[in-house]
């Protein structure tokens, strides 16, 4: 992370990872965060480069509205905030003193959006968040920081193959629906035909051959996912999906593979979302679970040790060694932030979950499982290898 330390305190950098982005951010944090302009050419040039900018007219930036504008400019990464008192430029953009307009060149979008109401730090931040992206933004490495780093934490996603016959119609419908959730949700198109999007498809358990698919997520301590009960992405269906979510009427969606026929045939039991509770919360068993990712290097290193552990306890009457692929399966109230994550589920009726923070050697695991372990993983060794 890049951090600016001024009298206002530390500010974490959440912008792009390219050098021009970082240089622009540093200039904003160490000097005037607003760019003074006097010509339309200056505005047009910035829009051509960044596709979005904000222009305000202030004869006195020390006014309450002017101070709010400067403060939001300083706090908002990735957006150039322009300011002018030039009469001709104000007339060009239809601005009175104290007026604010968003200027952009998004396809099929209004190129200028005037802010209405009082200019306060809160209202201006909301205005910028609602207009700095197209009504439907395509997911990419460049747009990801803006999508996930913004103030709007509810995201409406449509997954579609850009080369398919249905793609254009689906996106046109999605854009219509997006107008009704502007300022409440960020609407995102994920192209399932792009190889770079493999990780996000894996995260949602979506494959290209599934066709056009909709999901909603809420970003918090974890990521809550919501799936619709329909397959046709019609305007009516998508609009109802969004309204039901905003009204709090949807139940979280948890990914799960089907239960393998041989899930318990080996010493290390294979868990998926659909059989997790039956095994992990068995009141008569102490269950150690490794939450892993198939591509994780640390998980591959742990595999022979974990297999040896399973072999040791395969005939134990009350200890179960298990694992779950967390890229394809999810469990209610279990948030996995790194791989491998190991949790212990002690026997009893309380459905207790213990974070295992001990060592990762065979002896460490055996010492833990054969010892006292109902409150926490008491092993204090700092050997928690996570990605």
Mean per-residue pLDDT for 138-164?
92
Q: Which two tokens stand for residue 254?
A: 């948890």
According to the model, what pLDDT value does residue 281 have? Answer: 96
pLDDT one-digit tens code per residue, 155-190 = 999 999 999 999 999 999 999 999 999 889 999 999
Which residues, including other chains, have CB under 8 Å from residue 268's CB and lie 6 or more apart? 306, 307, 309, 310, 321, 322, 323
In the block, which residue shows the tokens 């990712």? 293
Give which of 151, 273, 166 is closest to 214, Cα–Cα: 166
How far, in Å, CA of 343 to CA of 356, rounded? Answer: 5
Q: What are phi and psi of 304, to 5 degrees?
A: -65, -35
The DSSP letter of residue 273 is T
- State the pLDDT at residue 18: 61
pLDDT at 361 over 70: yes
Per-residue burial over 109-125, b = 16 or more CB atoms within 10 Å of its CB, e = otherwise: eeeebebeeebebebbb
Rounded alpha-carbon distances, angstroms, from residue 48 to 106, 157, 170: 10, 27, 28
Confidence band for 380, pLDDT divided at 50, 70 and 90: very low
**Cα–Cα dist 199/40, whole Å:** 42
Angle, helix 64-75 to helix 121-131, in steps of 10 degrees: 50
Per-residue pLDDT at 277: 96
Using 50, 70 and 90 to split pLDDT, how confident is the model at 19?
Answer: low
How many of the other CB atoms lie within 10 Å of CB of 149?
A: 14
Q: Examine the pLDDT at 375 and tell me if it is beyond 90.
A: no
Say what the pTM is.
Answer: 0.67
Among 245, 139, 225, 252, smallest CA distance to 184 is for: 245
Q: How far apart are CA 128 and CA 152, in angstroms?
A: 11
Q: Judging by beta carbons within 10 Å of its beta carbon (0-12, 13-18, 19+), is residue 292 exposed, middle or buried?
A: buried
- 26 vs 281: which has the higher pLDDT: 281
Sign of CA dihedral 269, 204, 140, 2: negative
pLDDT at 17: 60
Decide if pLDDT at 279 tops 60: yes
- CA–CA separation, 68 and 125 (whole Å): 10
Residue 203's pLDDT band (cuts 50, 70, 90) = confident
192 pLDDT more than 60: yes
pLDDT at 37 over 50: yes
Rounded Cα gap, residues 369 and 204, in angstroms: 34
């Amino acid at each position: 992370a890049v951090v600016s330390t001024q009298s206002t305190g530390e500010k974490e950098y959440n912008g792009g990872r390219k050098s021009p982005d970082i240089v622009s951010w540093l200039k904003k944090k160490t000097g005037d965060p607003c760019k003074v302009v006097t010509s339309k050419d200056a505005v047009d040039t910035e829009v051509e480069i960044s596709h979005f900018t904000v222009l305000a007219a202030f004869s006195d930036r020390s006014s309450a509205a002017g101070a709010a504008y400067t403060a939001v400019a300083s706090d908002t990464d990735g957006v150039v905030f322009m300011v002018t008192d030039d009469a001709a430029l104000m007339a060009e953009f239809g601005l009175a003193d104290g007026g604010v307009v968003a200027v952009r060149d998004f396809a099929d979008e209004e190129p200028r959006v005037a802010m209405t109401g009082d200019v306060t730090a809160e209202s201006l931040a909301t205005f910028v968040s609602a207009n700095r992206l197209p009504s439907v933004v395509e997911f990419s490495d460049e747009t990801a920081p803006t999508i996930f780093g913004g103030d709007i934490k509810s995201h409406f996603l449509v997954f579609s193959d850009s080369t398919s016959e249905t793609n254009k119609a689906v996106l046109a419908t999605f854009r219509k629906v997006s107008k009704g959730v502007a300022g409440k949700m960020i609407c995102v198109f994920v192209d399932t035909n792009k190889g770079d999007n493999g990780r996000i498809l894996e995260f949602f358990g979506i494959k290209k051959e599934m066709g056009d698919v909709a999901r909603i997520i809420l970003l918090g301590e974890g990521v809550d996912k919501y799936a619709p009960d329909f397959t046709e992405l019609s305007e009516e269906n998508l609009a109802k999906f969004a309204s039901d979510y905003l009204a709090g009427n949807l139940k979280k969606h948890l990914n799960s593979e089907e239960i393998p026929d041989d899930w318990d045939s080996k010493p290390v039991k294979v868990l998926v979302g659909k059989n997790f509770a039956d095994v992990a919360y068995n009141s008569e068993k102490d269950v150690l679970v490794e939450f892993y990712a198939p591509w994780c290097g640390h998980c591959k290193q742990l595999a022979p040790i974990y297999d040896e552990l399973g072999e040791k306890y395969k005939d134990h009457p009350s200890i179960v060694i298990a694992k779950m692929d967390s890229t394809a399966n999810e469990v209610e109230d279990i948030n996995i932030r790194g791989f491998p994550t190991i949790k212990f589920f002690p026997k009893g009726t309380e459905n207790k979950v213990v974070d295992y923070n001990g060592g990762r050697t065979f002896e460490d695991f055996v010492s833990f499982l054969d010892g006292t372990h109902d409150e926490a993983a008491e092993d204090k060794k700092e050997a928690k290898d996570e990605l």
